[in-house]
Amino acid sequence: MSSYKTEVQNIRYNAATGSFEALVVMHEGAETLKFPTAIELPISSDFAFVSHKLVALAKKRRKENAGQLVSRTLRGQARFAHLGDLARQLTDSMRLTGRRAA
């Protein structure tokens, strides 16, 4: 089982839906996953309880891989690892392979 460094950002209560909403951010290795979450609870609910429920919901969605509204980013050098391949594809598509600059 994977372990995550998790943070809950911008918890707010939506009175129209009667739910707490937040962005749950999970840091896993070089990846950062962001899950928008919402859970119906009374406005009088304890902050720690609400946070725990929002994190549990995000972890469930992560496990089920059901996050259609998930933002996934890479940190550090892993973020740019694909640029070499991208440059090769570009030069190949422009037929620049093997040419020398004048």
For the stretch 85-94, pLDDT in tens is 667 777 777 7
Residues 7-43: pLDDT tens digits? 999 999 999 999 999 999 988 777 788 889 999 999 9
Beta carbons within 8 Å of 14's beta carbon, 6+ residues apart: 20, 21, 38
How far the first Cα of the chain sits from its last, in Å, is 55
Q: What is the pTM of this model?
A: 0.62
